[in-house]
Each structure stands twice: as structure tokens, then as C-alpha cells.
């Protein structure tokens, strides 16, 4: 495999969300370790850009959340699809690597297959949750599928006879490098006398608008704690200020893992952040609210018992989920009290230990890069 260091393969990567940007950046680093002259063009974010390559479009121009929100932005989405096809045609990549973001990526993959491009999908669409019929199209259009959750391999191979590669969860690659520092509190002008409650209201503005106002109602109820908001990548910290009245909440940008490592507990919007919080051993309450129409459509279509990745992986409610009508200040405060108690903290600690065992060790990014390059030999 040493000769691969002198390859000059062309990779086109599409990631449409903040989590995809994170995992895409680690994949780019791993690809460059094996293919030092790689030409990489991508849709993603700041982290992928830092890892190296040409940024075509930033994910903050692409991320729409909820059925209704996607519907009203269809014009923009179709323009982006057209532009993406033109850009791929001009670049002529050896392989297109899709990172989650299924509504967009599977449309591109179908077209790309017809054009003769190699399609590799990293981080499978959650077809086990909804739109299971997508599996049949995926089998036709994808040359390789790399899955990151243990139960996904069984779902694809046993239920659908679709050979996939389980590579482990890429979040393990990132978390293993993060350690609690002695300077974080001072550098961010945080109190050394108060414990921290971390607020993670999401990575998209439309999501934050629904989550943050209720999160902030906790602040006057718990004056003994310092509430700190994890600012989302790509969102100006000043944008959050319009939600604050008298609440004293500091916004810390691009240091979510550091914040969680110093937090006593966290209030988290559903998504990858629930898994990150669990793996960092922080007691959490998971919350979610979408527009009423999106919620009704989702409830009808989505076949899931849980919304938190922690609960989905463990197949039980290890962390409390407060969804839609249950997401109110009274219930959030009740659950916060519980996870701050010795009983609640110890129970979650046991569940988190099991979570780490199920997910396995780090190395997903390097394993995926190796498999992609070997497939192109």
C-alpha cells in the first residue's frame, strides 16, 4: 500500500450539515495520509476546509430541517442539485463520497451512477427509521456503503441482502483527543465556584429559535449554576443575543467538547450532540420541537421508538427525551433535577459505559479511507 502515497486521485465529497463537516474533516485527513497528492473538492464547512481541499458550498447554505421547511425551500434545493451536477461533471472525480444528508445526496448518487462515477456513501441515511424503500435504490446506485452504528450492518445485510462495511463511529476518533484542561474556565472567563450547565440548542437557526427560549427559562431557576451556551459553527455569537433578556449566559464558540468536559449536566437538542454528550459522560436531558406540521408528518412517517442516538443504540430510554408538547420548562426542570441527583448521575454513568462498549474503539475515519482507496486500485 506504500505506493498509494504517490496517488493523485480526485475525490468529491458532499456533507450538508455540521456533523458531516466534522466527520468529513477527519476523513480528508485520513485520505491525505494514504494519498498525499489527493485532489479534494467538497461541500462542507470550516473544518473540512482546514483539513485541505476546495470548498464549493458551505453547509450553512444548505441545511433545512423539518418536512415543511424543506418544502418551502424546494426551489433553492433544486438549484443546488443542478449546480452540484455541473460541478462534478467539470471536476471529473475518481470517486464521489457522500456523508449522510440523504435527501440531497441520494439524488446526486442516482444521477452520478448513470454518468459512470463511483459512488461511496459514508454514514448511511437512517433508512431503518423511515423511507426504508430507499434501500432498493441505494443497492442500485452505490458502489460501497460504510455504516457507523452496530445495528445497521444487521439491518442492511440480513434484512436487505446489501453488503456493507461497519467501520465504527467516527465520533470516537474526535473524542479520544479531547481532554479536560486546567485553563478552559479562565480563558473563557467562567466561574470556578459554580458548576456549569451546558446548553446545546442545535446547529441550525430554525432549530435554535424553537429550542433556546425554553432552555433559557432554566437560568433564573438555578442561580447556583453557570449556564453556558455552545455556539454552533457558522453562526455569529452575536446572533444569540436577541434571545437573552436578563439571563446571564455566555456563548462559547467552537469549543463544545471542552464545554461538555467541564459541565455538570447538559440540556441537548436531538442529533449527534446527544451521542457526543453521552460519550463524554455528561448527564443530559434530550429535547426536541419542530413546527406542528413537520411533527405530524414525522410522527406518521418515522418508525422510531427514540430520537436520541444514545437510546437508539442501547435500544432503551437511557436518557430522558422531551418531545414537542412534553418539551416545556416544568418537565425540563424536573429532569434536570433528576440527572443532578446522585441516583440519576450513577444510572447514566452505567448506561454510558455500555454505550462505549457497544460502539467500539476509534479508527473509523482511517478504516473508511483505506477501504475507499483500495476499491479504486
- DSSP per-residue codes, 291-338: -HHHHHHHHHH---S-SSHHHHHHTS-SSEEEEGGG-SHHHHHHHHHH
The more confident residue out of 268 and 18 is: 268
The model's confidence at residue 300, banded by pLDDT at 50, 70 and 90, is: very low
Residue recorded with cell 502515497: 5
pLDDT of the residue at 24: 95
Side-chain-side CA neighbours of residue 134 (13 Å): 18
Residue 165 has pLDDT above 60, yes or no: yes
Domain of 207, CATH number, reads 3.40.50.2000
Same domain, 218 and 125: no
The more confident residue out of 58 and 234 is: 58
The model's confidence at residue 92, banded by pLDDT at 50, 70 and 90, is: very high
What is the tally of structural domains in the chain? 2
Same domain, 82 and 215: no
Same domain, 307 and 369: no
The pTM (predicted TM-score) of the whole model is 0.76
Q: What is the mean pLDDT of residues 174-180?
A: 80
At 99-112, the pLDDT tens digits run: 988 989 999 999 99
Same domain, 75 and 221: no
The more confident residue out of 237 and 92 is: 92
At 312-331, the pLDDT tens digits run: 899 899 999 998 889 999 99
Residue 141 has pLDDT above 50, yes or no: yes
* Backbone φ and ψ of 272, nearest 5°: -60, -30
Residue 268 has pLDDT above 50, yes or no: yes
- Terminal C-alpha separation, the chain: 10
Same domain, 163 and 280: no
Same domain, 68 and 102: yes
Same domain, 14 and 96: yes
Same domain, 225 and 290: yes
Same domain, 25 and 110: yes
Task: Return mean pLDDT, the chain.
Answer: 89
Nearest to 318 by CA among 350, 292, 341, 295: 350
Q: What is the mean pLDDT of residues 170-184?
A: 84
Beta strand spans in the chain (E) = 10-15, 39-44, 54-58, 95-99, 119-122, 144-147, 165-166, 195-200, 225-231, 250-253, 263-269, 284-288, 320-323
Same domain, 161 and 217: no
Same domain, 199 and 348: yes
Residue range(s) defining the domain that contains residue 53: 2-175+362-375
pLDDT of the residue at 303: 62
Same domain, 159 and 263: no
Which of left, alpha, beta for 74 (phi over 0: left; psi -120 to 50: alpha)? alpha
Residue 207 corresponds to which cell in the numbers above?
432549530
Residue 13 corresponds to which cell in the numbers above?
465529497
The model's confidence at residue 128, banded by pLDDT at 50, 70 and 90, is: confident
Q: What is the mean pLDDT of residues 173-189?
A: 86
Which of left, alpha, beta for 88 (phi over 0: left; psi -120 to 50: alpha)? alpha
**Chain-centre distance of CA 4, in angstroms?**
30
Instruction: Please check whether residue 364 is in contact with residue 252, taking contact to mean a CB–CB distance below 8 angstroms.
Output: no
The model's confidence at residue 204, banded by pLDDT at 50, 70 and 90, is: confident
Question: What value does the CA radius of gyration of the chain take, rounded to a whole number of Å?
Answer: 21
pLDDT of the residue at 68: 46
Q: What is the mean pLDDT of residues 287-296?
A: 64
Amino acid at each position: 500500500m506504500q505506493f498509494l502515497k504517490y496517488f493523485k486521485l480526485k475525490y468529491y465529497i458532499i456533507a450538508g450539515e455540521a456533523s458531516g463537516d466534522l466527520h468529513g474533516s477527519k476523513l480528508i485527513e485520513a485520505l491525505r495520509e494514504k494519498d498525499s497528492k489527493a485532489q479534494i473538492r467538497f461541500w462542507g464547512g470550516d473544518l473540512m476546509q482546514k483539513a485541505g481541499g476546495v470548498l464549493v458550498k458551505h453547509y450553512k447554505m444548505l441545511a433545512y430541517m423539518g418536512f415543511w421547511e424543506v418544502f418551502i425551500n424546494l426551489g433553492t434545493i433544486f438549484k443546488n442539485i443542478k449546480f452540484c451536477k455541473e460541478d462534478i461533471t467539470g471536476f471529473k472525480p475518481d470517486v464521489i463520497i457522500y456523508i449522510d444528508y440523504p435527501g440531497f445526496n441520494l439524488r446526486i448518487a442516482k444521477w452520478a451512477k448513470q454518468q459512470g462515477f463511483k459512488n461511496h456513501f459514508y454514514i448511511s441515511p437512517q433508512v431503518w427509521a423511515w423511507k426504508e424503500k430507499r434501500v432498493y435504490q441505494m443497492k442500485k446506485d452505490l458502489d460501497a456503503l460504510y455504516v457507523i452504528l452496530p445495528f445497521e450492518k444487521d439491518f442492511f445485510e440480513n434484512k436487505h441482502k446489501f453488503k456493507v462495511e461497519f467501520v465504527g463511529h467516527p465520533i470516537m476518533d474526535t473524542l479520544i483527543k479531547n481532554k479536560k484542561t486546567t485553563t478552559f474556565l479562565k480563558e473563557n472567563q467562567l466561574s470556578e465556584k459554580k458548576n456549569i450547565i451546558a446548553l446545546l440548542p442545535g446547529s441550525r437557526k430554525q432549530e435554535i429559535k424553537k429550542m433556546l427560549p425554553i432552555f433559557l427559562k432554566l437560568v433564573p431557576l438555578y442561580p447556583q449554576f453557570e449556564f453556558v451556551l455552545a455556539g454552533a459553527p457558522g453562526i455569529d455569537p452575536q446572533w444569540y443575543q436577541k434571545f437573552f433578556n436578563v439571563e446571564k449566559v455566555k456563548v462559547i464558540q467552537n469549543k463544545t467538547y471542552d464545554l461538555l468536559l467541564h459541565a455538570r449536566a447538559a440540556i441537548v437538542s436531538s442529533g449527534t450532540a446527544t451521542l457526543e454528550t453521552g460519550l463524554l459522560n455528561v448527564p443530559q436531558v434530550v429535547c426536541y420541537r419542530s413546527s406542528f406540521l413537520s411533527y405530524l408528518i414525522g410522527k406518521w412517517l418515522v418508525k422510531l421508538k427514540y430520537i436520541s442516538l444514545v437510546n437508539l443504540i442501547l435500544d432503551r430510554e437511557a436518557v430522558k427525551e422531551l418531545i414537542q408538547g412534553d418539551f416545556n420548562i416544568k418537565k425540563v426542570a424536573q429532569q434536570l433535577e433528576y440527572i443532578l441527583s446522585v441516583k440519576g448521575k450513577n444510572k447514566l454513568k452505567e448506561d454510558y459505559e455500555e454505550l462505549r462498549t457497544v460502539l467500539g474503539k476509534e479508527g473509523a475515519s482511517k478504516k473508511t479511507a483505506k477501504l475507499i482507496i483500495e476499491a479504486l486500485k
